[in-house]
Structure 1
């Protein structure tokens, strides 16, 4: 009996032209050219982020720093620079910061804080005061009154010293001794000498005198004994003389200090009166005390800079004299030194390192005090020491300036400057991945970054959005002196913005990409010496942009053309289908077809994922294969279990595969292999699937359609070729004009489906089939053929099992 003909599939209409691409309505563009359009001021399409930034900027409470997320090119840096001007936050008082020598503990420099502009004045006043001290102090000690008083002390001391030693000399004279002075090194010391004839000799010379018969041995011994007695007395007299010397030295010093204090206090009196802050007063008193303690250094006229003068310098590390608004510091190189400052070092002539308070340098964090510091999160996390120290500063709101000595082969410095109370808001620019990691693994992160400003990469495609795009183009024209755009060129730019986000309902907010196309379109306009930028110039700019990044795509297309990579675009084959893959990970990614095959045989291994067995598939692809198995159990294993061995493979794939966008394609290949019905090779398929057979949306739909279209163009369009996509992706279609043109001419097709049933009917031209009252599929349908084949495999497996039992 001849086999009945298979039931033909119902007709599935291809998508109409209006579903393939959105064209910007010209009536939404506010002018014929950009000449009569006002440039836009402000930020486009980032209402959520702007609200978050406004909160973070205006709420002056601990922890309300801002973490800014979003794709590159969405205007984050531009926004942060301009948002403060727009919001006009409450200004904190900016201050001047100085480090000065701590005369009590030189290793702990003292911090002086002044109102804006006062720090520079204080430094200048200190220079003037110290110059006056240096210039006038020598003259003070050259005045006649001072010299007379000093001489009187000297004369009085000399008289008392003479009296003291004269009395001792009279005491020793009867015993044959006189008082003399001998030199030891650089100094003279009193010594008891023996009178011998007409000269005086040392006691140590007496043995020589005995040998010369100038003295008897007995006299020499007597004199030596007497010398020892008087020597003890001399030592006491000498000590009294030293005490007397110290007393008069102190009297002279006290007098010098009294004279110096009168003038030094007079010099510093104005500073003490003007700078009333307690710490400044303490410092000035320390300076006065140090000058008076080191008055000898100032008594000598010296036009050269002395080392001592350094201790009286004022190290003005932050000067806000010229600052009239809230500081906004954008640190593009957030190294430890650039952010927190450092303590510099220098080497002396012997090669030893030294440092002092004058080598303390501020960083961006302190320059932004009272305002905002903007840094890149990735840079802050990768620079040694920056992130941990930034956390510490924001938690405790204190900055301790130190050098990064743990990363240098130098001895650690004992210098520990006084900590600075800082009031700065940090705006960290990053992405959601960094934000998620920090939130999960940094315990204090959410305590110090309480505000997240999320910049969206897209916005709704509305009439307002089109007008904003127009004004954005106008602003670029004004800022960069470009040629004006006509309305068709503006429409092309807006359409390009929709293509960048693969959506008819959205346009991109990555305006750096839009700006690049505007500049390049202007370039081609000027190359042609045209007055206005037209749609042809915009299209040329877009085409050239893709062309610069299309080398890999062209090489792959060559391999397909030369049949190195095997792809069929006509005819039919059982168990073989064209899947679609996207190559590249940026906006210059492209799609190309890939052959997927399925093979079925008797057995119980189930559905084998060859890529998984070869360890070339990712977890998402593996999940898609398991869902595929679930679909077959749902559809064909309600009465008996699946008994088959089937394998699915991405042919000529030699690198890793991931994603589930080909899971429906794999189902079609298996259905074809089980049913024995060939698949139309002129149709490529993309789409994820669930266990119920519902088709789910995928990414890269435009690239995939265009990729298969390009292959078909090279082989020759037949009018029967096309691509099957999920119905949910229709709103994502923004196909290039050449594809839309081919569809309008009936040479190419795009179908949108919602179920596996629709897909298999399009691919085979045979009805999929529906279960009858008994729960079986009609035999003349695809599913009926699959069901029959699975029953054969089940019976075969059962018979084999029975044979093993009886054997």
Structure 2
């Protein structure tokens, strides 16, 4: 069993309540003379991890960065990535082109740096040239002569065939008569058509001969008529060949420049061959545009073909294009990482009530823009976007960027769509999030650790030393110069460092959550400007902190007003049995409010139960319930251990109507129980905070400064008497960074702060009586708190035994 410590002086002197930086310890007068600090300080491990991920070329060494908000994660990551990106080559361009053999699968082509835009412009000029050249060739005198010759040739072949038919008919004495309904045949004699009455007078042999002649001629006529479509097709083919030949001349002439310009790009050679064939095949497109211009009284210019979707097949969709003036690989930050913003999207056009698309409607995503470099994403936002996380993992797994549409994943689109060729992916992905999300991803997603092999943790604070204080000063100088603020005097730097120490809640550390510190600096600079000061001083820092507290102090002031009016009953004078002032902490966003709360205990004989009213009312959280069970265990194992634990006790936070969680009030609760059992009143001039274990040892808690200051403000409102104060865990002394007015009150003996390591020290200070230790004979010293408690519990046990005694007078055992 752990024994209580002997009575010691628990009072803290004013010099222990706040750690301050001596401005005279700085060799500089203002930050204007300091060398700026490149990068954060105190984050060496995180910087090492970021550098490793950025320099590793293996594709699975992506990075997850976690740490507190405001710790400089984003700025540090971007700075280090930009340094590494500057050492890498600028990546190639990527374009999508028409796949003439399979239009639904556009071609992804990689081009040398800056060539994507040039190819797009060259293709636009090619189309514009062909709009002029093809119609010009097809209306040229050479073309017209060739076409006329072809038409005359086929007309002559038609006439020759018809003449042969007529000659054969004439030899058979059959007339071919052309009528509006077609051709008709009639037998002839002596150059005249045989009339029906003459035909009737002929002999049978003569009639049969005439009929045979007509039949033979009819067969010849049918053959002639059947040959006409074939002759027409032959003529059309000949004209098409002529057109293709002439168009080929125009196409070859127009393409000679573009093929020479991009002759060194091997990936474009097959495309140019397919392009040449398609341009020749679709030469009528350019002719139709020229004809429509000729027929239109207000003909559109050459630029009209840019708006004509029929010419989209000859355009270039530049997905990524870098300028030669750019240095290094890209660093892309995507603030809205939806699936389409990551992997790209395919847009649709409405035409005649239908949705259509082509390769020119493919839009790039962040992975396209970051290819060859770095992509920075917010982890929580990626996970919140539908399908974005799975799409990102697929691209990382296949090392390719697939354009994946949300509607396609959900099966909601019935419109025609495309399957663009994937673009090879070489990117380093950096996710920025919090520690809990990193743990959940590692635990619940089996793929996460495969793709994100490195984690960089940004710490909340670093050890405070002369070296880190100097680095802090240089960081202040960096921010001041970067944002164009006034230089800061050394006493201002010292005051800002003290604010960073308070933010860390540790006299031996300095906070690395710099956002709040820089906000103080910016407001102090504003205040200095209003007062026409040339530099920012400690008074400006103090004014900025006070102003921020004043702006957010509404809830605190309303609470103090309710206590002052008696709406919330808190006493800072007098003594009461079983009643103590506990200290609570409420957090509303960034605002932390410390306030006292009355805790009361009631005891009587019972079956060994300590009732937690908060838990029974379903207002107590599991940590608070655990703390109450620890109190019950402490009482049961320290006092009257040879008899049944015969106590019934209840604990409650008076006038609380919300949830109660945490164990920081367990010391106050135990003191109220000990007061109720010993029947010794507790001074209401004190407030108590701290947790206890089963041995009665006091353990540290959080929010110590706000809790002390909250009770101090109540005492000031009710009038300082010099007897008021707080009792805190001894381990929390290092966390004290109290306001100057609290420190001054302690220095002037108007307020007390006591640090204890055991509950006996706390109850002795609260009651004014010694707690008492067990003597060699096993009993507590007479007249002490512990002796009174044990006597009371023994009395409860005897009363319980008497109450349950059998009628025959036999004695019950200790466990009965």
Alignment of 1:267-306 (within 5 A): 267-273=254-260, 274-299=262-287, 301=290, 304=300, 305=305
Inter-CA distance 601–443: structure 2 relative to 1 (3 Å threshold) = same
* TM-score where L is the length of structure 1: 0.91
Partner in structure 2 of residue 249 of structure 1: 236
Contact conserved, 1:178 with 1:195, CA < 8 A, in 2?
no
Which of residues 42, 47, 66 is equivalent to 2:44? 47
Displacement of 1:263: 4.5
1:761 is aligned, of 760, 764, 767, to 764
Preserved CA contact (<8 Å) 2:173 2:188: no
User: Is 1:591 equivalent to 2:594 in the alignment?
Assistant: yes
Are 2:367 and 1:380 aligned? no
RMSD over aligned CA atoms reads 3.0
- Distance of aligned partners of 1:132 and 1:804 in 2 relative to their CA distance in 1, 3 Å threshold: farther
Compared with structure 1, are the counterparts of its residues 111 and 772 closer, same or farther at alpha carbon in structure 2 (3 Å cutoff)? Answer: same
Residues 1:657 and 2:660 are matched in the alignment:
yes
Contact 1:56 1:66 in 2 (8 A): yes
Residue number in structure 2 paired with 1:178: 176
**Cα offsets for 1:442-485 (capped at 9, x unmatched):** 11111111111111121211112222222233233323333332
Question: Please, which of 658, 671, 675 is the counterpart of residue 672 of structure 1?
Answer: 675
Q: Is the 8 A contact 2:105 2:421 kept in 1?
A: yes
Partner of 2:577: 574
Distance in structure 2 (CA, Å) of the matches to 1:475 and 1:38 = 8
Map of 1:320-359 to 2, 5 A cutoff?
320-321=322-323, 322-348=325-351, 350-359=352-361
Distance in 1 between the 2:777 and 2:744 partners?
Answer: 48
Relative to 1, partners in 2 of residues 1:730 and 1:229: Cα closer, same or farther, differing over 3 Å? farther
- Report deviation, 1:232: 6.0
Provide the aligned length of Structure 1 versus Structure 2: 781
Q: Separation in 2 of the partners of 1:307 and 1:328? A: 35
Q: CA deviation at 1:551?
A: 0.5
1:572 Cα offset (Å): 1.1
Secondary structure at the residue paired with 2:804? helix
Q: In 2, Cα distance between the equivalents of 1:684 and 1:121?
A: 77
Counterpart CA distance in 1 for 2:226 and 2:20 is 110
Separation (CA, whole Å) in 2 of partners of 1:172 and 1:778: 152
Q: CA deviation at 1:172?
A: 5.0
> 1:311 pairs with 296, 299, 313, which one?
313
Rounded to whole Å, the distance in 1 between the matches of 2:407 and 2:188 is 72
C-alpha change, 1:105 and 1:800, in structure 2 (3 Å) is: same
Q: Give the direction of change, closer, same or farther, for the CA distance of 1:752–1:250 in structure 2 (3 Å limit).
A: same
Instruction: Indicate yes or no: 2:65 matched with 1:68.
Output: yes
Q: Report how far residue 325 of structure 1 moved.
A: 1.7
Shift of the 285–543 alpha-carbon distance from structure 1 to 2, 3 Å rule, reads same
Q: Does structure 2 conserve the Cα–Cα contact (< 8 Å) formed by 1:95 and 1:116?
A: yes
Q: Which runs of 5+ in 1 are unaligned?
A: 1-8, 184-189, 202-208
Displacement of 1:795 in angstroms is 1.3
Aligned partner of residue 591 in structure 2, secondary structure: coil
Which residue in 1 is equivalent to 2:464? 461
Q: Residues 179 and 439 (structure 1 numbering): CA distance in 2 closer, same or farther, change over 3 Å?
A: farther
Deviations 1:709-747 (A, max 9, x none): 111111111112111111111110000000000000001
- Using the alignment, how far apart are the partners of 2:539 and 2:395 within structure 1? 55
C-alpha contact 2:71 2:513 (8 A) present in aligned 1: yes
Q: Which residue of 1 aligns with 2:29?
A: 32
CA deviations 1:678-730 (Å, max 9, x no partner) are 11111111111111111111000001111111111111111121111111111
Q: Residues 116 and 319 of structure 1 are in contact (CA less than 8 Å); yes or no, is this contact kept in structure 2?
A: yes
Quote the Cα distance in structure 2 between the aligned partners of 1:194 and 1:499.
122
The separation in 2 between residues aligned to 1:520 and 1:510, in whole angstroms, is 17
Give me the whole-angstrom Cα distance separating, in 1, the residues matched to 2:451 and 2:14. 53
Q: 1:105 aligns with which of 102, 107, 123?
A: 102
Q: Which residue of structure 1 lines up, in the alignment, with residue 407 of structure 2? A: 405
Distance 1:196 1:731, change over 3 A: farther
Q: Residues 169 and 179 of structure 1 are in contact (CA less than 8 Å); yes or no, is this contact kept in structure 2?
A: no
> 1:312-337: per-residue Cα shift (whole Å, max 9, x none)?
11111211124322111112222333
1:395 equivalent in structure 2: 397
Matched residue of 1:802: which SS?
A: coil
Structure 2 residue runs without a partner (length 5+): 1-5, 294-299, 811-816
Residue 578 (structure 1) shift: 0.7
CA distance in 2, matches of 1:402, 1:191: 64
Matches of 2:416 and 2:435, distance apart in 1: 40
Structure 2 Cα separation of the partners of residues 337 and 399 of structure 1: 12
Determine if the alignment matches structure 1 residue 606 to structure 2 residue 609: yes
Aligned runs of 1:315-714 on 2, under 5 Å? 315-321=317-323, 322-348=325-351, 350-405=352-407, 410-604=413-607, 606-714=609-717
Give 1:186's aligned residue: none
Helix, strand or coil for the counterpart of 2:230?
helix
Alignment partner for residue 158 of structure 1, among 144, 151, 155?
A: 155
The one-character-per-residue Cα deviations of 1:33-67 (angstroms, maximum 9, x if unpaired) are 22322333222221111111001100011211111
Deviation at 1:510, TM superposition (A): 1.9
Q: Decide whether aligned partners of structure 1 residues 541 and 164 sit closer, same or farther in structure 2, where only a CA change above 3 A counts.
A: same
- Separation in 1, partners of 2:527, 2:780: 61
Query: How far apart are the structure 2 equivalents of 1:324 and 1:76?
Result: 24
Structure 1 residues 470, 179: closer, same or farther in 2, change over 3 A? farther
Mapped contact 2:90–2:322 kept (Cα < 8 A): no
Q: For structure 1, which segment, 277-286 or 371-380, has the greater mean C-alpha deviation from structure 2 after superposition?
A: 277-286
Distance in 2 between residues matched to 1:13 and 1:755, nearest whole Å: 11
Aligned twin of 2:813: none
